[in-house]
Structure 1
């Protein structure tokens, strides 16, 4: 019950990333595991 919707969401995320690359505005790389998350903002180390 979870696998289908999760796979669908990941497919759409990949499609959006591809479209941004084609438009010249690529999504920056980052890891949410090491990211500093605060209310209203997300900052990647480095």
Structure 2
């Protein structure tokens, strides 16, 4: 029972976090259209290193 509620809470947190990140990313790209490529390149460099 405890494990099931913990998994459900984790799923809710992940869904809410993904929705918030998507909304922030969309708003950021609308305000700064040139920043998306730089952010993606920076993220890729961080992932590689």
Q: Which has the higher helix share?
A: 2
Same fold (TM over 0.5): yes
Aligned length: 35
RMSD, aligned CA: 1.9
Q: Name structure 1 gaps, 5 residues minimum.
A: 36-46
Return the index of the structure with the highest Cα Rg: 2
- Greater relative contact order (Cα 8 A, min sep 6): structure 1 or 2? 1
More strand by share: 1
TM-score by length of 1: 0.56
Q: Which runs of 5+ in 2 are unaligned?
A: 1-8
Normalised by the size of structure 2, how large is the TM-score?
0.53
